[in-house]
A and B are shown apart, each in its own frame.
Chain A
Amino acid sequence: MEVDYSGDIMTLNMGPQHPSTHGVLRLVLKTDGEIVADAVPHIGYLHRCFEKHVEDVDYAGVVPFTDRMDYCAAMNMEQGYVLAVEKLMGIEVNDRVRYLRIIMAELSRIASHLIAAGTYGNDIGSFTPFLWCFRDREKILDFFEETCGARLLYNYHWVGGLMHDIKPGMEQKIVEFVDYFEPQVDNLNRLLSDNYIFIQRTANVGIMSPETAISYGVTGPNLRGSGVQFDVRKDEPYLGYEELEFEVQVGKGEHGPVGSCWDRYMVRIREVKESCKIIRQAVARLTPGDVREKVPKRIKPPAGEVYMRTEAPRGELGYYIVSDGSLKPYRLKVKSPCFTVMSAFREVSRGAMIADIISILGSFDIVLGEIDR
């Protein structure tokens, strides 16, 4: 929108307690009428000293803490950490563990993208997809509950293996769920994604060019929405993703320019279908085995450092662990994908309207637990 005069700048505070900032995020907006001249995010309201705290806990006890960073996709958070420690110790897990880890990670990815889609619809004003997405998410959480006993914070991935094996007959139920779920995504598309009002709200809003995204270090669906084809599962495969066939979905700019909010949202919806494909292939390749075969009695990695990248639902999650040879980590640093995308928020939101700020924030799909740790 163009303005031919400029009035007074009004400072508006979208405080930490707000119905749609996805957590405790504070945005200080400088608005000129309805147009935003500057939007500065203030974070830190959920800082829990995770990185310092785990220096006092042994390696196995760190896993429950990693769960609590991005609580919407806890399996992926645990997985990144456990893979980093295994890389440091040189442990190779067996096939059953690998494929179970892939299944759990992809189920967690579907669950996380369902939250993203539902809450995004909520912010845009359509309250129904939220409930439908959560209904499907409940079914995934029921699988997790049957397997490890908890619905949101699992402590399921252990260094060297998994906590429990899945119950017999669960593979069949997972495939049935995937069969039930794929038509629900089409339903969701008819209700929300292809709705003209929704497209008007999101398709010309929050354009992030590929150059901007790359220069800020944005990864994950936010980067792929701008047309850049980059996915850690394809470019630096881990856990055996190179054996599975799936496509990396990028935003194509069907409605409006490439890199809009609609593109980022659609990348997530299409990724959900790719995850369904991956789950089917992984279930077909499951072989019998013992999931706690390689779990060491005491986890004492050799002195050294390691950096492991995995593809979390919100982007590239990185764990940097420095070990001094003792039972507790010397330093653990997490590269959080939502943190990097918040740094791009200021530039992307310049010139948008207030209603668009909500739209942009929702399309970035941030979780404050991961930003603040």
Chain B
Amino acid sequence: MVTYFRNIGLGIWTIISSMAVASRHLFTPSVTLQYPKERWQMPERSRMRLSNKIEDCIGCGQCARACPTSCILVKTEKRDKDEPPVFASDGTAKKLRTYVFDIDMTLCCYCGLCTFACPTRCLTMTGDYEYSVYNKDDHIYHFAVETPKAGAEAEKQNPAKD
């Protein structure tokens, strides 16, 4: 009998206590960010979209080897000795001509291992997160600007590094 009344009393007391705690939050400011109008500042180490500064890329293919999901495709060929030498911005000689540098962002797992493998630090992960596209093929980024010297023969002689 006593437990019956004690339980009723306990029930009422805890219900009022819960409601009091909840009501305090009616007066605290909310933590919502009104997204398109207000945007959060991304920290500098954010790992979002990949971007490659192709002028500094020496075509070593370390990024393609480090990637756990095989999303980077790098194809290179040796430059001829009679071509003028090309250098990256930190002075490294670019001995290879990179004619294919594709990153498939739909395969990328955003781990960042490729950025650590790059010796010239040309491959970086930016803080850009609004990059949806209408066509899935637009998620494959083609960074290479140079063209191979010969045509299909050159591709057969230099197997792709991936």
A interface residues, Cβ below 8 angstroms from B: 57-58, 60-65, 128, 132, 135, 138, 145-150, 153, 155, 163-164, 187, 190-192, 194-197
Contact = CB atoms under 8 A, between A and B. Distances in A.
A147 B17 contact: no
Nearest to B20: A190
Interface of B: 7, 10-11, 13-15, 17-18, 21-22, 25, 31, 43, 45-47, 66-68, 109-113, 116, 125
Given A62-B68, A145-B43, A191 B111 contact: no
Given A145-B43, A149-B45, A155-B113, A194 B14 contact: yes
B110 A145 contact: no
A153 B14 contact: no
A195 B125 CA distance: 47
Given A149-B125, A191-B22, A60 B113 contact: yes
A195 B15 contact: yes
Contacts of A194: 14, 17
A153 B110 contact: yes
Contacts of B11: 196-197
Contact of B15 (A145, A149, A192, A197): A197
A153 B109 CA distance: 9
A64 B68 contact: yes
Contacts of A150: 46-47, 110
A197 B112 CA distance: 47
A58 B113 CA distance: 12
Q: Pick the 6 closest A-B CB pairs, nearest first.
A: A61-B68, A149-B47, A64-B111, A149-B45, A155-B111, A196-B11
19 contacts: A60-B113, A61-B66, A61-B68, A63-B111, A64-B68, A128-B25, A146-B43, A148-B45, A148-B47, A149-B45, A149-B112, A150-B47, A150-B110, A153-B109, A155-B113, A190-B18, A192-B18, A194-B14, A196-B14
Given A64-B111, A195-B17, 14 more contacts: A61-B67, A64-B68, A138-B31, A145-B43, A146-B43, A149-B43, A149-B45, A149-B47, A153-B110, A190-B21, A195-B15, A196-B7, A196-B11, A196-B15
Given A187-B21, A194-B14, A147 B110 contact: no
Which of A146, A148, A196 gathers the greatest number of chain B CB atoms within 10 Å? A196
A195 B22 CA distance: 12
A142 B7 CA distance: 43
A187 B109 CA distance: 38
A135 B43 contact: no
Nearest to B48: A149
A60 B43 CA distance: 25
A149 B14 contact: no
A70 B68 CA distance: 19
B68 A145 contact: no
Given A57-B68, A64-B68, A148-B45, A190 B112 contact: no
Contacts of A197: 11, 14-15
Given A65-B68, A146-B43, A128 B22 contact: yes
Nearest to B17: A190
B113 A61 contact: yes
A322 B79 CA distance: 43
A60 B18 contact: no
Contacts of A155: 111-113
Residue among B10, B68, B116 with most chain A CB within 10 A: B68
Contacts of A196: 7, 10-11, 13-15
A220 B68 CA distance: 31
A197 B11 CA distance: 7
Contacts of A190: 17-18, 21
Contacts of B18: 190-192, 195
A146 B45 contact: yes
B22 A64 contact: no
Contacts of A187: 21
